[in-house]
């Protein structure tokens, strides 16, 4: 049940272009333990800019 | 399953003289899609593309936790579907309903299975094997530098036309509708408040802020009725189409230079969730209500065009229903963020092919929506004022004379039930669909008393995501334009300070604003003129994408299977080529831009005024607009022909080569 809810939450977030912060943390921990990590707010702002900054061609008609 | 599809299609096709239940169409579509997904998508994946689940995708070998993230396929499906589903699949089928429901249904089903879903799937595949690069880069990689620039130019022109058409739909829905305009206007301060909330108060809480926004939207909808009836506020929110047009142009210019977190992002949250919610609710509503189709299977307008748009079934059906059957714009999405998120090649059929089938399902629902309405109401709403008039009595008379009995009382009563002053000549698809949604939703929740609420809910939902698209599209168009100009003048590039960006934004807004203004002031309703141009442009982009697919298959030495992309590409080239040719050179002034211009020029020379122009200056304007439209269609034709030449040349070169010449990017087996 909680697995389903968490998937739903992830679906909703990625629908508006927001990947999971946990995945980012896991990636940084596994591959770049030496580098500084963005906190949740910084991550959110970074992804917002990436989605809406115009580089990704927007969405469909 | 195949049997169920066949039976349902047979019922749809063979029933004559009695109303067919909408569920038959739904069943026919869903079963066909499932069969196609099970067999055709798997065939393409295994034989044509030879997908390899073990091969690392960009999300694996370039993983960075940000842009490249291996994502659960259900999550990615939601992301991809939300990105491709927009206003297109809702509008085209509504317009196509003027021919009856049968041609549209068949084209959506056949088109998506053999062309649309193949295109999305193919581009996703190509991009996935090349670091998740964009369509323009892919064309350049596989077909050469010049082809890449031409494709970029074509994509920019299409963007402009899409923005103009979308904005025009909003104008058609909100003109002289204070309730609708108030609720849509209320979303701006609402989004600003949401933006401030996610920026400073609770950063990153998307779910929370979206729920708060939803409450705000419902409040705006409820109070909108009182505002519309208020003697002070009502007139303030009652704008003419021309006024609305200028408001929208101003809005687009300002909104696209604001920081993204302030207006664009929060409104995108609202519009995305509302869009997905409304689509699900519509599906449930249709199943519960199981309405009979009141539009005939075929109308007399199928042969040679009707009041909603001019031209016959071939080729114009195939460009009127663009998104939903096959949409070139999806090639930009399938080569955007999705290929960077896909976890394994085994997920590609579900994302690429499956999501497009889902969009076709939305298009089928829109077609059902338009077909359950009284055909008289449908034609009164979608025919231009120049054809049917503006007075209810006169409209009822004209529409009845077309063969669709309608009384003035019904027309007035319907508008009153919906809380509107009038529903006459509200072309553009959105209002018609909103009426249908009001019928369906009020049948399920609230009864007739809730009709007006549901109508404005539907208008709000459509206007909201169209406005988000206008805003996001202007930004994307600005970058495209900067890239294009930077090819000739590097000082205009993206990293050269704010001035080039502002100039490019201004040019972009001016360009779509020009076509919007032209559409709004066009007495034939504008949709009549602009929608075919949009359809031609969108389908041409699809043809380009499918040609790219063909080139790649040749370069992979998969010559045996090139028909998978070559046949739909050829069909789209024939349709858009014919449609483009007719739009340019047809002798019928209703169809051909140049014939229309010539007719007006001849009249102007003799000092005559032709309706709708009221002065010689307006006559000149009509002629100028026609010529601009003709030039645009000509440019599209030139772009697609040039790319056809490049594609053919590359195909012949690859055929002569004994080994594959495809340029895939192979990532390291293990990510660094």
The conformation of residue B19, written as its DSSP 8-state character, comes to P
> Hey, is the C-beta of B264 within 8 angstroms of any chain A C-beta?
yes
Q: Is B342 in a helix, a strand, or coil? A: strand
Mean pLDDT of chain B: 92
CA distance B77 to chain A (A): 8
B116, B569 in Cβ contact below 8 A? no
CA distance B119 to chain A (A): 15
- Range B255-274 average pLDDT: 92
pLDDT of B611 strictly over 90: no
Helix, strand and coil percent figures for chain A, each rounded to 5: 60, 0, 40
The region of weakest confidence among B7-11, B91-95, B325-329 is: B7-11
Task: Give per-residue pLDDT as tens, B501-511.
Answer: 899 999 999 99
B395, B424 in Cβ contact below 8 A? yes
Pairs of CB atoms within 8 A across A/B: 141
pLDDT at B672: 36
DSSP symbols for B29-94: HHHHHHHHIIIIIHHIIIIIS---TTSPPHHHHT--SSSS--B-HHHHHHHHHHHH-SSHHHHHHH
Q: What would the two tokens of residue B313 be?
A: 């079934």
Q: What is the pTM of this model?
A: 0.95
> Hey, is the C-beta of B167 within 8 angstroms of any chain A C-beta?
no
> Hey, is the C-beta of A19 within 8 angstroms of any chain B C-beta?
yes
What is the distance between the alpha carbons of residues B328 and B308, in angstroms, rounded to a whole number? 24
CA distance B85 to chain A (A): 6
B178, B452 in Cβ contact below 8 A? no
Query: B292: which strand partners?
Result: B21
- The residue ranking higher by pLDDT, B529 or B124, is B124
The conformation of residue B591, written as its DSSP 8-state character, comes to T
CA distance B89 to chain A (A): 8
A16 with B268: Cβ contact below 8 A: yes
- Range B547-561 average pLDDT: 95
Q: What contacts B655, CB < 8 A, 6 or more positions away?
A: B554, B559
Measuring CA to CA, how many Å separate B298 from each of B12, B313, B360, B361, B402? 12, 11, 21, 21, 14
Give me the residue from B82, B329, B469 closest to A15, CB to CB: B82
Q: What would the two tokens of residue B202 be?
A: 């609770």
| B 330-349 residues with CB < 8 A to A | 330, 332-333, 336-337, 341
CA distance A39 to chain B (A): 11
A51 contacts on B by Cβ (under 8 Å): 260, 265, 337
pLDDT of B163 strictly over 90: yes
pLDDT of B73 strictly over 70: yes
Which residue on chain B is closest to A21 by alpha carbon?
A: B65
> Hey, is the C-beta of B59 within 8 angstroms of any chain A C-beta?
no
All structural domains of chain A with their residue ranges: 2-52
B169 contacts on A by Cβ (under 8 Å): none
Nearest to B135 by CA among B327, B336, B356, B345: B336
Beta-carbon count within 10 A of B462 CB:
31
Q: What contacts B8, CB < 8 A, 6 or more positions away?
A: B24, B25, B27, B28, B31
pLDDT at B360: 97
> Hey, is the C-beta of B277 within 8 angstroms of any chain A C-beta?
no
């Amino acid at each position: 049940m909680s697995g389903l809810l968490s998937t739903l939450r992830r679906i909703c977030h990625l629908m508006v272009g927001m990947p999971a912060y946990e995945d980012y943390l896991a990636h940084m921990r596994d591959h770049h333990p030496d580098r500084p990590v963005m906190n949740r707010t910084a991550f959110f702002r970074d992804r917002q800019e990436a989605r809406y900054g115009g580089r990704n061609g927007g969405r469909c008609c | 399953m195949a049997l169920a599809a066949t039976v349902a299609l047979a019922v749809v096709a063979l029933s004559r003289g009695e109303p067919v239940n909408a569920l038959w169409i739904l069943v026919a579509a869903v079963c066909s899609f499932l069969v196609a997904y099970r067999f055709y998508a798997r065939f393409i994946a295994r034989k044509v593309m030879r997908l390899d689940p073990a091969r690392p995708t960009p999300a694996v070998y370039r993983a960075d936790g940000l842009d490249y993230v291996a994502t659960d396929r259900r999550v990615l499906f939601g992301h991809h579907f939300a990105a491709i589903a927009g206003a297109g699949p809702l509008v085209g089928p509504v317009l196509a309903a003027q021919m009856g429901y049968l041609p549209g249904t068949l084209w959506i089903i056949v088109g998506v299975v053999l062309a649309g879903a193949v295109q999305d799937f193919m581009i996703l595949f190509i991009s996935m094997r090349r670091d998740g690069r964009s369509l323009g880069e892919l064309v350049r990689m596989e077909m050469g530098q010049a082809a890449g620039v031409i494709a970029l130019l074509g994509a920019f022109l299409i963007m402009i036309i899409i923005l103009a058409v979308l904005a025009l739909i909003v104008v058609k829905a909100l003109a002289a509708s204070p309730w609708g305009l108030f609720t849509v206007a209320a979303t701006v301060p609402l989004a600003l408040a949401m933006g401030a909330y996610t920026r400073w108060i609770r950063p990153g809480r998307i779910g929370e802020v979206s729920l708060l926004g939803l409450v705000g939207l419902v409040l705006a909808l409820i109070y909108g009725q009182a505002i519309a009836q208020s003697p002070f506020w009502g007139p303030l929110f009652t704008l003419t189409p021309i006024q609305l047009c200028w408001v929208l142009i101003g809005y687009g210019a300002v909104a696209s230079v604001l920081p993204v977190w302030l207006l664009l992002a929060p409104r995108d949250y609202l519009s995305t969730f509302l869009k997905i919610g409304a689509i699900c609710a519509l599906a449930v509503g249709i199943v519960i209500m199981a309405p009979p189709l009141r539009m005939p299977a075929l109308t007399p307008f199928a042969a040679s065009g009707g009041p909603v748009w001019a031209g016959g079934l071939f080729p114009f059906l195939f460009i009127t229903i663009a998104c939903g059957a096959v949409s070139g714009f999806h090639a930009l999405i399938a080569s955007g963020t999705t290929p960077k998120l896909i976890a394994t090649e085994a997920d590609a059929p579900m994302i690429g092919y499956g999501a497009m089938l889902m969009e076709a399902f939305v298009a089928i629902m829109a077609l059902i929506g338009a077909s359950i309405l009284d055909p008289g109401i449908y034609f009164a709403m979608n025919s231009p004022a120049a054809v049917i008039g503006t007075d209810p009595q006169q409209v009822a008379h004209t529409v009845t004379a077309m063969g669709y009995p309608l009384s003035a009382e019904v027309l007035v009563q319907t508008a009153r039930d919906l809380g509107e002053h009038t529903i006459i000549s509200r072309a553009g698809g959105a209002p018609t669909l909103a009426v249908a949604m009001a019928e369906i939703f009020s049948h399920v929740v609230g009864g007739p008393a809730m009709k007006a609420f549901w109508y404005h809910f539907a208008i709000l939902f459509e206007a909201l995501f169209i406005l988000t698209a206008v805003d996001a599209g202007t930004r994307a168009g600005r970058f495209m334009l900067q890239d294009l100009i930077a090819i000739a003048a590097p000082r205009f590039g993206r990293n050269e300070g704010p001035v080039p960006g502002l100039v490019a934004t201004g040019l972009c807004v001016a360009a779509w604003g020009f076509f919007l203004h032209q559409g709004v002031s066009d007495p034939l309703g504008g949709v009549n003129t602009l929608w075919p141009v949009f359809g031609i442009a969108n389908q041409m982009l699809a043809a380009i994408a499918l040609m790219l697919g063909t080139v790649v298959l040749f370069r992979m030495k998969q010559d045996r299977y090139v028909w998978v992309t070559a046949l739909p590409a050829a069909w789209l080239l024939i349709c858009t080529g014919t449609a483009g040719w007719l739009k340019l050179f047809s002798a019928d002034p209703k169809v051909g831009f140049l014939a229309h211009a010539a007719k007006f020029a001849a009249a102007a020379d003799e000092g005559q005024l032709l309706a709708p122009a009221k002065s010689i200056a307006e006559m000149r304007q009509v002629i100028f607009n026609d010529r601009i439209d003709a030039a645009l269609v000509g440019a599209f034709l030139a772009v697609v022909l040039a790319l056809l030449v490049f594609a053919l040349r590359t195909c012949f070169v690859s055929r002569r080569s004994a080994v594959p010449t495809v340029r895939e990017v192979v990532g390291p087996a293990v990510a660094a």
